[in-house]
Amino acid sequence: MSAEPALIVQNSPVAPPPVLLAWAASREIEVEVHRADQGDPLPDPRDREFVAMLGSKYSPAAADVPEVQEAMKFTERSLECDVPMLGLCYGGQLLSAALGGRIETSPEPELGWYEVTSTASDVVPEGPWLQWHFDCFTLPPGAELLAESPRCTQAFAHGRNIAVQFHPESTIEIVSSWARKDRERLAGLGLAHAGERLEQGRRFAEGAVEAAFTLFDSFYRRAFA
């Protein structure tokens, strides 16, 4: 394995990865969190043990945004160097787009706790999973479908990479802060009660952490099989 620590790219000050960090610590995996949201250029992913790309306020469809352009180049570079990549929500969308998939407006935003239908429950348990997205990705050519919902593809594997549309790295408290931040937008879309949906699913929080560890372990095994 590479001597360089795994790289986690944080794209928003309100979207840290506490569950992913807890998993890495429990497995004694060294990680470095790169705060792209603070304006620092993304490092070269080459020689990293793996990279994880977190959520963002942007969509890869916003191709004219400099931050999106840099993140796409980083994703393409990771694939070129065969560095295993875990794409989470925005990160999963970047992976799909880099592999030839499409980014689309979700037919219905998934905001809160949602079940998924898994084709590989040892990789992606059926949930429920925390979701917070208005766009979604399609299954790129050559990818293996891992999970889906009636609205969109939820997870796929491609080589040593895994992409998911949900937020296994996050917690209900963090996603609730997004709901408060998005209050105006949600009201305009007739989704003002999305925050209540999150709270109603608080009983799922402990199981979601266990499911996230299963997902992260599966990604790590795939990365170094």
pLDDT of residue 142: 97
Domain boundaries, the chain: 6-223
pLDDT of residue 44: 95
Which residues of the chain register pLDDT less than 50?
Answer: 1
Q: Is 220 helix (H, G, I), strand (E, B) or coil?
A: helix
User: Which of 34, 89, 152, 158 is flagged as catalytic?
Assistant: 89
pLDDT of residue 3: 66
pLDDT of residue 89: 97
> What are residue 128's phi and psi, to 5 degrees?
-70, 155
pLDDT of residue 182: 83
pLDDT of residue 102: 97
Active site residue 136: no
pLDDT of residue 41: 92
pLDDT of residue 207: 95
pLDDT of residue 168: 98
Q: Is 172 helix (H, G, I), strand (E, B) or coil?
A: helix
Q: Give dist(CA 153, CA 31) in Å, integer.
A: 28
Q: Give dist(CA 120, CA 116) in Å, integer.
A: 11
pLDDT of residue 17: 98
User: What is the CATH code for 6-223?
Assistant: 3.40.50.880
Active site residue 133: no
Closest CA to 6 of 71, 52, 50: 50
Q: Give dist(CA 215, CA 167) in Å, integer.
A: 11
User: Which of 49, 110, 148, 169 is flagged as catalytic?
Assistant: 169
User: Which of 34, 133, 158, 167 is flagged as catalytic?
Assistant: 167
